[in-house]
Structures are given as structure tokens and as C-alpha cells.
Structure 1
């Protein structure tokens, strides 16, 4: 199988609407909201759009702009965590304030340096205040471009991606990144803004409270016309929202609810979902695609049936979705985790299962994906499953995920080279944690994957590939200079040349370009392991 192709024997396609609904559940977790927040707010948005007389295409844009509107946020989790500590807690708190002026500034400064000693936190807050608007504007610009790219990768109408560029703009023109105002912002985004905030306050405080919040932000954050429609028909718009099966109800409203993807389209959308998750941290860039390719290659090496190869490939792509529910403050912590932090980490495979369990046709995939951190001696998580309870597919995915992770840097260690990773994997097999046959198959597959001596794409030099990987890992120009023992100005010039060759202008876009061109996961001068 070509690493970017479709598996021979891929099964019948999946429901596009269901996969996108599953993505929305992962987005919910990253926003600090319970799952089905975006599904429920999409229903609110659809009901408002109908009452405003929007045409079919506009209503389709409303539905998906609301469902995946915050998809770009998670690509900035690394930067957001560096500024505000717990990225998920910060996003959850933003729903409590009108995101402008002193209330928003107070919210931001209350999160800056959280968890640091008081004196260090004070310095961090002071430094942040000096450049607050610039820093937030940079984050928001990156978010908007990321959202558009990810929307396109998931096969959404171009109109959705275009609308998402306005997701941080406001009716009063005090938004970012461009300060658009009023009718200069697509009406679909005005509706999505109202539906998103209303759902949170409706769920947490009731209808009267939600209406009070809407009135207080009418004409500032929210379009008066949209706010007035909700005010007029609020009881009907929210009717039954908390009594119905919102998954079924929202999918009934999906504009492409009857669209079944081909096998090739299914794999392409699952790859887009993999990229969405891996962008959450620069330490995991390209991780899910790498695991998927390794697992599929190992399965073919063992002569597994074609459906099993497909299941393993897809399980590799989606196994990390639950990571969206764990803060980058935990994922990127350099020291040991506390008991509470470790419990959060242990639950992410179960979150993956909860996100994907309702997607018809993924049952066999989800069963395997949820067990990629289990070990045959019972030392794994989340359930401590052991021995014969772990199938051949479970054991193979566990070995593939472990090997791929060892090739990647982590906050507490550098990446291992292929030989070092292979030695570590064999040690785990000897210790009875990983299955020896699975380890051998993964290493056989990896021997083909790590060979490289063709020219780099886009005319990149070895040094520029090295620079690109550091950029993708979230390194600043100053940090790149220190890592490579060069001047900061030289590092900046290298970064600018890399961006120019790739046609990108920020870290997230550069990271996606690196994934697309197979430039993550290997040393710049890697050669085949003999």
C-alpha cells in the first residue's frame, strides 16, 4: 500500500456525516464542553437559519460551520498552553465572558502562568500584557488558516472553509484577525456565534439565563438580527434539545446525511482526522499516519486477511482521537505526572471509543483502536487487559504505536533513532509487555519505511528539512538557533526560505506540509537499516 493511498480490499465506505459528527465530539472535548455540545448547537443554528429564510446552501454552511467551527483551535493548543497553562480550561472559561475589552483581558491574565510560583506568574502576566493583542492576534490568524485547511481536507464545501476565516470576528468590528464588522461577516457565522454560546448557557443556566447573555451581547458580539430571531422564537428553537437523541437528530439535519463515502474517500477523511489530532502537539506530528502505515505493513508481512489490514490501518489513523480531551499542559509536561494527571492520560483510549462508537461500520476498528495502550502482561491501560483477551490485531497495533512513539521526541526525552527504537521494542517483548511476533512484524515493516535517499520535496536542503522539523516541533527562531548552534538571524532566514518553498506562512501550515510530504518521523539523513 502506498502510504497515502487506499488499502486493497478496503470495505464499503462510511457515512460522511457520521464521521464529521464524530470529529465534532472530539472538538467538544478540546473546548472543555461535554460531548454533543457542537451537535446540539448545530441544531440551534439550523433552526435559526430556517426562520431567517436562508437558502439550502447557506443552511448547509451554517450546519457545518457550526459543527466544526472550532476545529482550528486545537492546532494552536501548544501555543495556547504555553501562554495560559491548561488550554482546555482556558477555552471553557471563554464562554463566560464577552471576548473583548477588560473582562476578556482579566480572563486571560488570570490564566497566564497558572501553576507557576507567584513571583514568576506575576512576571509572565506583565510580559503578556505588553504584547497581549499581538500574541492573541497571531494565535487567531493561525487558527483561522488551520480551520480552513482542515475543513478542506475533510471534504467540506469551500464555502464552509471561507466562512471559518471569520469565526473570531464580531458584529461590532472588535474581533480578529481583520476587524470585520456587521454585514461584512457571513450571516452563517453570525448564526454560529449565537448558537455556540447559547447552547452552553442554556445547558448550564436555563433558557432565561441564555436569553440574558444574548441580550447583553446583542449588537456587540452578536448580530442584532440573529439575536432578535432567537429572542422571538426561543422556546421553539430550543424545544426538546435535552430530551432527544441529539446524535440522531443532528444527523437528520446534516445536508449530506445520505452520502456514503467510497473506500478511498473514507480513508482520506480518516487521514484528515488523524492530522487534526496530531496537530494538537508538535511532539506527535504525523504520529497517527505513521502508526497506521506501520500496522498495515506489519499485518501484510504476517499474511493477515485484507479486511484485517484495513481495520488495522484505520485503527492506527483514529486511535488518538481521545487525546483531544487531555490538556497540552499534561501532554507537554517535562517532569513526572501527578496521580490526577496520570488518570487523565489513562482515560484517553476510552474517550476514543466514546467518540467513534456510534459511527456505523467502524465497530471492528474502534475495538482495536481502544486497546493500543494495553499490554499482554496486564500493565497497560485503560483497562489492564491481558493475555488471550488481546487479539492478534490488538497486539500488532500496540507494537506499531509503541515503535512510532519511540521515533518521536517527547517533552522528557529526545527521539530515538530506528536502531535504538528497535532495541527498546525488543526489550519490551522480552519483558512480556509486547507480543514478540508482532514486534518482529512491525520492525520488518519499519525496515522498509525508514529508507530514504531521494531528493527532498519542494527543493528543500537537508538543513532546511532539519529546520522544518524543529518548526513543526514548536521551536521559536531563538530555540532553533540554540539547537543548531547558529545565529538567530540565520535561523530566521532559514525559516523564511522554508516557508517560501512550501508556500506557507505559519507553524501549523508548515506542519501540515511536513506531514503531506512525509518529512516527519525520520532524521534528515536517515538511511535504510540493515
Structure 2
């Protein structure tokens, strides 16, 4: 049986959904455990528990799809969504809280104009936004190959017991029990985290018969939350997957990552198709560099997931038409770390996340999030960095138009010349993108002509400054070349580099 488990992929994605709702990571995972405990008290058979399990993990996965519109109306889509748990849905207090966020932080004139626009078309759009969340989540469940019963429950995840949910077609026992359990678990998890068992019980009883199934609400008690805070939540959720759990082949795993990549890219209209395009460029570059098949596969998957962490950054930043402030830049530069954080608890996903997190690192240490030096950046990481940089330049952004391919290629070549991007990775990415590239790789381990010149002088014992003088380059460029050489030939000092040069006949010009 395959070790690739769909549960791990969906659970990792849920950590980003948590951040998109302004909740601490593992909110959805704890919600899943609560829903399963309630399912046990109802006595659901294993096939129904499977539906509860995946519905809980996917319940809010479509809510970032209109983050662009949410930020337009409410300035900060994450702040807007975080208020979901503070007031009863459809209540007067909820409506008042929503109105207070309308155009928050903007001038009174802007808020007035926004109000007029909302009155004309926004109210209708706002209602359709909520309806579309569950519809999109159901689409993803279908693309992930989940059973029809899961798709139906995910599609009904915003329906309410009293029929006043969204889209408002179901009520009472017509709402799939997995959806009823998930909604109860979602809200009581937050109430328990904020107000303990008493707070969770109070919420369940107060909304019983309206939002929640009253019979299920009566089951909420201390035993439902017993020991929850002491668990290793990730392990508990993965271990709790019902026996009928979903295993994937390698091809199914790739399809799942591609489907999720497209969903994540819905967060901003400026990012549509970004992940799959970066993956195509990176794979083409890796094949041109003759990387092993396993490394090509790793690189494809890393490129598909590299943007998952963007879910944790507000669209008030991603879609801002002007320059970003210092705090906003810090949030942007955090997203590769968030991607790695989402993936690192899974033994299967962690290596993919480690490469994905290098998508903005630079060889001179000026990248982010960790300012890694060149020797610490893997070859797949160098390729994904070049592919991501090229693709970003030819895509429109809110603060600039898209660059022409030739302009993007010139930018990448300048980055390589300055020692920020790997020369070989840049050439391979540009060739993958259809540009004509001179053949600069002439030696073993993909060493360029210039790198061979540097290696020859390095092996003869010349310090970096003298190498720079001899080759008429700057000392910084010489240092970058040395770092690149060490990384390519897996050397750590001059002696091992010299041995490589001798064995490969590189000492003579």
C-alpha cells in the first residue's frame, strides 16, 4: 500500500486556512478531532466517519477564493474573516460588526463611495461570495478524488439547522450529518480555546435549533474536549483517519498538488496560474540540466506548493497598488517560511517544503526568509528561485505592468551576473521559457568556463582577491564563483576542490 496519504496533504493545507482566518495554526485540526469525538458519541459507522474527517479538514478551504473582493470591501480579508466566530451568523450584532469593518482605515470620502458601490452591486456579490465558498470546496474535494458523500457534505458545510444558512436550500436532517458535526465542532473549538469548556457548552446551547442541530449540541460537554490541549495535534489527526482512508499513487499525489496549487492561486487575480507556470519552467530547466528523475519530481512538487504560505498574508498587501511599507514587506517575506511550516510535520511533505522555502533565497545572502548563503541553497532551490523570479516578472502586479519576456530575461541575466542567482539555473530556466541561451556549461558538474578558470586558480592556492585581480572581476563576484563551485562539486575546502580539479583534468588551460 502507498505511503502517500491524502490526509497529510489536506491537513497541511488546513494550516494555511487557519492563518487566513486569523486563527492559530491547528485550529482546523482540533476541530477535526472534536467532530470525530462527536461522531463517536452519535455512533456513526466508519464510512460516515470518513465523511466527517475530510469535511472537517476542508470546510473553509474555499474562503480565500474571493479574498481580493473581501479586501476591497473590508480592507483586510483576514481581519474580516477572523470575526466569523465573534457573533452569531445572520445576527444584528454580526451585521453591525461587518459594517464597522467596511472600508476600515480609509477616508470618510472613500468609505462613502465604497458604500454607494456596495449598495449598487456589492450586496449581491457579497451573498454570492459566501455561497461560492462551499461550492469551490466541493469542487476541490471532487478533484482530490474524495467520495460523493464527502463532496455533498463539504458542499453543505454552510447550511444551518433552521434553513437560514448558505445557500439556504437545506435545513434540519436534510443537512448531511458530517456538515452538521463539522459546523458545531468548528465554532465550539474557538469557544473552548477562548472560554474553556463552559464557553463551548454555552455557545452550543445558545445556538441550538438555529445554527446547530439541537441533538448534537446537547452532546457538547467536558468529555468532548478532554485532553485536547495535551495532544500532539498533527499526529492525533493523522492517526485518527478512518480505516477507509485515502491512499495515493505518485501520479495521484502530483494531481492533488496541482489541484491545490490552482486553488491557492485563486487568492489574488494577479497570481492565477502562477504555481503551475513556475513548475513547468522549473521542470524544463531541471531536465536541461540533466537532474535525476527523483530531483525533477521533487522540484515539480516544490514549485506547486511554494505559494501555500501566501494564504497567511492579507490581500490588502498582495493587491496593494502602491509601494509596500516595512511591516508589509516583512509579512510578504514571511510567506516561504509559512509554506515550510505548513509542510514540515509530514515526513513525505517536509523535503518538498524545504526546497519550496528557498524560492526567494539568493546566493549572496540577500534573499528571504533566512538569508541563506549560496552554499546552503540546493540546486533545486536555485532553479525554483530563478523560475519564480522569471515568471513573476512576466506577470502583471498591482503596482506595475507585466514585463516583456526579453525584459524579464535581461533581469535574470543581470541577477546572475551580480551573483544573486545561479548562472546555470538562470540559463536553464531561460531556455525552458523559449529564450536562446549560449552554451556556457562546458565542464563536469555543470561548471561554466568562468568557474573552471576560478577553480584552477583556487586549486593553485590563490586567495579570492588575487583570483579577482587575475580574472579582472570584483572580489565579491570571485567569492560568489567559489561558493557556486563548492556547491556544484560538493566540496568544502580548497583541498577537496583541488582533488576534483585533478581528477577531471581541469588544471591545464
TM-score, with length taken from structure 1: 0.79
1:46 aligns with 2:46: no
Q: Is the 8 A contact 1:27 1:68 kept in 2?
A: no
How far apart are residue 375 of structure 1 and its match?
Answer: 0.8
How far apart are residue 156 of structure 1 and its match?
Answer: 1.6
Q: Which runs of 5+ in 2 are unaligned?
A: 437-509
Matches within 5 A, 1:107-506: 107-125=97-115, 127-128=117-118, 133-230=123-220, 234-255=221-242, 259-447=246-434
Q: Is the 8 A contact 2:142 2:151 kept in 1?
A: yes
| 2: CA distance, partners of 1:394 / 1:18 | 23
How far apart are residue 107 of structure 1 and its match?
Answer: 1.8
Secondary structure, counterpart of 2:66 in structure 1: helix
| 2: CA distance, partners of 1:257 / 1:14 | 14
Secondary structure, counterpart of 1:359 in structure 2: coil
| 2: CA distance, partners of 1:114 / 1:123 | 13
How far apart are residue 313 of structure 1 and its match?
Answer: 0.8
How far apart are residue 141 of structure 1 and its match?
Answer: 2.4
2:483 aligned partner: none
CA gap of 1:133–1:13, structure 2 versus 1, over 3 A, is: same
CA gap of 1:17–1:196, structure 2 versus 1, over 3 A, is: same
Return 30-39 or 123-132, whichever deviates more.
123-132
How far apart are residue 36 of structure 1 and its match?
Answer: 0.8
Secondary structure, counterpart of 1:283 in structure 2: coil
Deviations 1:133-174 (A, max 9, x none): 523221022222211111111222222222222222211222
Q: Is the 8 A contact 1:13 1:263 kept in 2?
A: no
Secondary structure, counterpart of 1:229 in structure 2: coil
1:63 aligned partner: 53
CA gap of 1:296–1:13, structure 2 versus 1, over 3 A, is: farther
Q: Is the 8 A contact 2:152 2:176 kept in 1?
A: no
How far apart are residue 448 of structure 1 and its match?
Answer: 8.3
Deviations 1:155-204 (A, max 9, x none): 22222222222222211222222353222211211111110000011112
Q: Give the count of matched residue pairs.
A: 435
How far apart are residue 385 of structure 1 and its match?
Answer: 1.2
Return 167-176 or 330-339, whichever deviates more.
167-176
| 1: CA distance, partners of 2:122 / 2:300 | 43
Secondary structure, counterpart of 2:59 in structure 1: coil
| 2: CA distance, partners of 1:426 / 1:281 | 28
Deviations 1:477-506 (A, max 9, x none): xxxxxxxxxxxxxxxxxxxxxxxxxxxxxx
| 2: CA distance, partners of 1:338 / 1:156 | 42
Q: Is the 8 A contact 1:350 1:370 kept in 2?
A: yes
Secondary structure, counterpart of 2:370 in structure 1: coil
Deviations 1:387-440 (A, max 9, x none): 222222211110011111112111111222322221222122223221121110
Secondary structure, counterpart of 1:78 in structure 2: helix
- Which contiguous aligned blocks of 4+ residues in structure 1 show a shift greater than 4 angstroms? 129-133, 256-259
Q: Is the 8 A contact 1:292 1:314 kept in 2?
A: yes
Return 347-356 or 426-435, whichever deviates more.
426-435
Deviations 1:23-74 (A, max 9, x none): 1112111111111111111110011111112222221111111111111111
How far apart are residue 335 of structure 1 and its match?
Answer: 0.8
1:7 aligned partner: none
2:22 aligned partner: 32
How far apart are residue 377 of structure 1 and its match?
Answer: 1.6
Return 251-260 or 69-78, whichever deviates more.
251-260
Q: Higher relative contact order by CA 8 Å / sep ≥ 6: 1 or 2?
A: 1
Matches within 5 A, 1:488-527: none
Q: Is the 8 A contact 2:298 2:352 kept in 1?
A: yes
Q: Is the 8 A contact 1:13 1:266 kept in 2?
A: no
The Cα RMSD (Å) is 1.9
1:458 aligned partner: none
Deviations 1:78-131 (A, max 9, x none): 122222111111111111011103112112111111121123224434653566
Q: Is the 8 A contact 2:355 2:380 kept in 1?
A: yes
How far apart are residue 282 of structure 1 and its match?
Answer: 1.1
Q: Is the 8 A contact 1:408 1:414 kept in 2?
A: yes
1:81 aligned partner: 71
Q: Which runs of 5+ in 1 are unaligned?
A: 1-11, 450-530
| 2: CA distance, partners of 1:174 / 1:48 | 23
Return 157-166 or 395-404, whichever deviates more.
157-166
